[in-house]
Structure 1
């Protein structure tokens, strides 16, 4: 087990549901990745990059709902500014995106 955190620590992480509305190749990335634009409803549209090209095609990702951390500081990746962190489960070297069981409102909080 990793470090034990408090409930207060957990509440600092703002996990939200968003829908991927645009997917582009990211040839400048060190490892194969996509550039994503994600609609978080009232929070607006945020960009992220994700190294998920081995499991997902651009068509698989378009209009897919995902879970992301939306309160990280922005991160410059080459010429691309990532504004959120898409989360997933890691199996070996692959990342499997987390998603709600059924469609929910963009921007919904994940508890």
Structure 2
């Protein structure tokens, strides 16, 4: 195990469910990626850059629910401002998105 954290540390991470409502190519990214627009319900719309091009086509991502950390500071990636971190299981260059088993309300808390 790397670094242990306390439960208090974990509670600082705001994990939420959102639905991808727009997907765009991101040719300016250093590594192949998409620009995602994600609806988090009452929390609003956020954008994210995601290196998920090896397993997902743009059309497969539309209306897909995902899990993201929404309380990281914004991060400049090339000419794009990423506002949240979409979570996935990493296996080499392949990233499998984490998502709820059944559809839930956008903005739902992951705990």
**After TM superposition, is the score higher than 0.5?**
yes
CA distance in 1, matches of 2:9, 2:63: 31
CA distance in 2, matches of 1:57, 1:2: 33
CA distance in 2, matches of 1:5, 1:54: 32
CA distance in 2, matches of 1:55, 1:39: 22
Contact in 1 for aligned 2:54/2:93 (Cα 8 Å): no
Gaps of at least 5 residues in structure 2 are none
Matched, 1:49 2:49: yes
CA shift for structure 1 position 82: 0.3
Partner of 1:66: 66
CA shift for structure 1 position 79: 1.3
- Alignment: residue pair count: 111
Matched, 1:24 2:38: no
Q: Which moved more, 1:88-97 or 1:100-109?
A: 88-97
| Secondary structure of residue in 2 paired with 1:48 | strand
Partner of 1:3: 3
Gaps of at least 5 residues in structure 1 are none
Give the TM-score taking structure 2 as reference length. 0.98
Give the TM-score taking structure 1 as reference length. 0.98
CA distance in 2, matches of 1:99, 1:2: 25
RMSD: 0.6
